[in-house]
Amino acid sequence: MSKGKKRAAIFLGIILFALTLMTLQHGKTSNPFTAAVTYPFNALNRFFFNLGDSAKNAWNCVDENNKLKNEHAVLLAERQHYTEIIQENIRLKEVLALRAQEHSFVTAAKVISKGYDRLLNLVIIDKGRKDGIEKGMAAITPKGLAGKIYSVKEDYSELLLLKDANFSAAVRLQNSRTEGVISGTGHSLCALNYIPPEENVEAGEVVVTSGLDGVFPPGLFVGVVGSIKKEGVEFFQHIEVMPFQSAAKLEEVVILKKAAARK
């Protein structure tokens, strides 16, 4: 007989012996000898029983922990959803307040997607011709000018953003009243053009629409002056403007009549 088989036979014999003694212990036949012999096996039995019970408790803890994690994830998702609803309500209240202030109000619209033309900075809004929108109308937010209507369909429109290189609007500096033209650069900053070098322009000065282009109503907030450069022989200063309304955060807009149409 091999060593492995001998060990298995011995182990099996010990188990059978222990079971026999435990049976005697639980029966009517009980004496000090039986108790003394079965004590180690009872201890071993209790050890494995406790070990199994501990494993069961550990498994229950893991299961409970997973349930708590799932409940936490659900609560977190609900909280984020309600937070988004609250923020949307705040924005809509601001849009409604803007509607009451603007006599040239046409409609309010929501941005639903990016534009189809990759060469232009366009977004799609959920209002169109049936809502009174026309090409060239201004789009604003409570923060300021956002862009102008680029194309109109029956149920939706394309909005050309302020930062696009094809965008331009007649503006003036709010303090000095110096007039110029704001244009997009394709990036986050815009360029304030046609400001002569003798004009004193300060960083932080607010830029507003002048209404002289017949498109944008006067007094719409556009942005704030950033960097200013005066080159020696240049006819105009190089002025960068940071728009008040970030194109990346645009969600709702108010559409206004053209400046010429207000009269």
pLDDT reported for residue 214: 87
Could you identify the residue written with the tokens 């209790």? 46
Let me know whether 30 and 73 are in one domain: yes
H-helix or E-strand spanning residue 113 = strand 105-114
Let me know whether 79 and 195 are in one domain: no
* Residue 100 confidence (pLDDT) above 60: no
Let me know whether 144 and 51 are in one domain: no
**Is 37 buried (19+), middle (13-18) or exposed (0-12) by CB count in 10 A?**
middle
Q: What is the pLDDT of residues 235-245, one digit of tens each?
A: 899 999 999 99
Q: Which of 44, 69, 101 is the last residue of a domain?
A: 101
pLDDT reported for residue 28: 47
Let me know whether 179 and 251 are in one domain: yes
Nearest-angstrom CA–CA distance, 42 and 240: 87
Let me know whether 21 and 36 are in one domain: yes
Let me know whether 97 and 118 are in one domain: no
Let me know whether 196 and 71 are in one domain: no
pLDDT reported for residue 86: 64
Nearest-angstrom CA–CA distance, 160 and 215: 14
Q: Mean pLDDT over residues 151-164, rounded? A: 95
Q: Which two tokens stand for residue 127?
A: 């209002």
Let me know whether 36 and 119 are in one domain: no
Domain count for the chain:
2
Give the CATH number of the domain where residue 163 resides: 2.40.10.340
| Contact call for residues 148 and 217 (beta carbons, < 8 A) | no
Let me know whether 113 and 50 are in one domain: no
Q: Which of 46, 68, 101 is the last residue of a domain?
A: 101
- The residue ranking higher by pLDDT, 253 or 231, is 253
**What SS3 string covers 135-195?**
CCCEEECCCCEEEEEEEECCCCEEEEECCCCCCEEEEEECCCCCEEEEEECCCCCEEEECC
pLDDT reported for residue 257: 85
Let me know whether 88 and 112 are in one domain: no
Q: Mean pLDDT over residues 87-115, rounded? A: 72
Domain extent, residue 248, equals 102-262
pLDDT reported for residue 99: 61
Other C-beta atoms lying within 10 Å of the C-beta of residue 65:
10
Q: Which of 48, 79, 101 is the last residue of a domain?
A: 101
Let me know whether 127 and 154 are in one domain: yes
| Contact call for residues 176 and 188 (beta carbons, < 8 A) | no
Model pTM score: 0.62
Let me know whether 172 and 198 are in one domain: yes
* Residue 36 confidence (pLDDT) above 60: no
